[in-house]
Each structure stands twice: as C-alpha cells, then as structure tokens.
Amino acid sequence: DTGVSQDPRHKITKRGQNVTFRCDPISEHNRLYWYRQTLGQGPEFLTYFQNEAQLEKSRLLSDRFSAERPKGSFSTLEIQRTEQGDSAMYLCASSLSGTRAEQFFGPGTRLTVL
Amino acid sequence: GNSVTQMEGPVTLSEEAFLTINCTYTATGYPSLFWYVQYPGEGLQLLLKATKADDKGSNKGFEATYRKETTSFHLEKGSVQVSDSAVYFCALLTGGGNKLTFGTGTQLKVEL
C-alpha cells in the first residue's frame, strides 16, 4: 500500500457548482478524517469516520458539505453550491483506531472557486 | 478549548545554521504533541512526536522535548540543509485522538 490517495489533486469550479472529492485511505485503517487548509493557515478538522459511521462533525462543516464512507473504505466529500470562501486545500487522513493513533495524510485536493 | 501557537515565519537561515521553531500549546488533559512537515507540492508528513511530559521526539536530526511546565514543544535542529526548506506545523491530539489541532505553520527557507 502506498499511502493515502486523493482525487482529484486540483479542481477549479465556478461559484454555485457542486464538487465531489474522493479519498482512499490506507487499507487497514478504519478511521478516516477530513481537514481543510486555507492559505497561510494550519489544517482545520472537518469530520471523521470510524468504519462507515460518521462520528464527529465540526461546526465548520456547513449544510452545503456532506461526507460519506459507504463501505468503510473510501470516502467522498461533496460541496454543494460552492462559494469563493470554499477555496482551500482539502486534506484526508487515515489511522488505525485506538488512543492517539498516528494519522497519515494524503496529498490533498486543491479547490479553487471562481 | 485546545490551541497551538507557533512563531511566525518565514524563517530564513544559511545552510548549517541552528534552527529553533517555537511552539506553545493550550489543552485540556494531557495531549500528545507532534511536528508535521509539508514540503512544496506534497502532503503533510509526520516528522516527530512525543506522548508524555519530558519525552523527546527525534527524527532526521530534528528534536523536540515535551515540556509540561512551560506547555511548549519547540523544534530544533543543529545544522539545517537546503533540503529542510518546508513548512513546519506543530499539532496536538487529546482524549480519544479524534482530531488534530494545528498551529498556523512556520515556513523555513534554507539558503546556501
């Protein structure tokens, strides 16, 4: 396994369009996390899954955002009716379960909303 | 709530210079502490970690000691190289380990 992968790496869209990103975690990891990183800032937590269950969502995750992990493997993050403020790097990470397990990050998807 | 404060960058050093990047934190309970590095065009990579007070994390010549009394986790390297140029993030993890809290990052530029 080569690590966490994300697709696409870059996405440019017009305001008001919907976008969907995919994350494939390390195969034996049952936890999956989404973070958002804006320019000049550190990543901020959005949500996380334990297997297929979404266990926590940040208040940063507005109603326009939805994340799924239907079979406990890959995950998708959808943003509806994109706004310019959604422009950011969206990072996915995965880990084993257990207290304070190390999180391994993917390369991220850079979203630009015009 | 939890927070991490890092020194602002960019930090510009000559090759072989000594590096310190300051990091202090506020957290409930007893966090685990991390330094992540982000090279240009790449994802975050774990550089080192410490899980309890007085632990020292080390990797690739970098070191950081978990100081509970000063709530600090400063990153140091004795002799930096051009290849160390990257953005460095201090982060903490508490409780069930569900989410990392990051600092804003410090950009390091190492010149010949």
The DSSP string of B32-87 is EEEEEEE-TTS-EEEEEEE-STT-EEEETTEEEE-BTTTTB--EEESS--GGG-EE
Q: B105 and A41: CB-CB below 8 Å?
A: yes
Facing residue for B44 by CB, picked from A99, A100, A105? A105
pLDDT, chain B, mean = 93
- A41 close contact with B: CB closer than 8 A: yes
Q: Nearest to residue B66, comparing CAs of B97, B98, B31, B37?
A: B31
Instruction: Decide if A21 contacts A11 (C-beta within 8 A).
Output: yes
Contacts of A63 (CB under 8 A, 6+ apart): none
At B95 the pLDDT is 67
> Best mutation site among B2, B99, B104, B106 for testing chain A: the one with the most A CBs within 10 Å?
B99
At A71 the pLDDT is 87
Q: B102 and A98: CB-CB below 8 Å?
A: no
As a whole number of angstroms, the distance between CA A60 and CA A57 comes to 8
As a whole number of angstroms, the distance between CA B81 and CA B74 comes to 19
Q: Hunting for tokens 């404060």 — which residue is that?
A: B5
What are the tens digits of pLDDT across the range A52-93?
Answer: 999 989 988 889 999 999 988 999 999 999 999 999 999 999
Q: How far is A108 from chain B (nearest CA, A)?
A: 6
Q: A91 and B4: CB-CB below 8 Å?
A: no
At B97 the pLDDT is 63
- Token digits of residue B58: 């080390």
Contacts of A106 (CB under 8 A, 6+ apart): A3, A4, A5, A6, A23, A91, A92, A93, B43
Q: Hunting for tokens 């995750």 — which residue is that?
A: A61
Q: B101 and A33: CB-CB below 8 Å?
A: no
What are the tens digits of pLDDT across the range A15-48?
Answer: 999 999 999 999 999 999 999 999 889 999 999 9
Facing residue for A103 by CB, picked from B89, B100, B104? B100
pLDDT at residue A1 tops 70: no
- B104 close contact with A: CB closer than 8 A: yes
What are the tens digits of pLDDT across the range B60-97?
Answer: 999 999 999 999 999 999 999 999 999 999 999 976 66
Q: For A104-113, what is the mean pLDDT?
A: 95
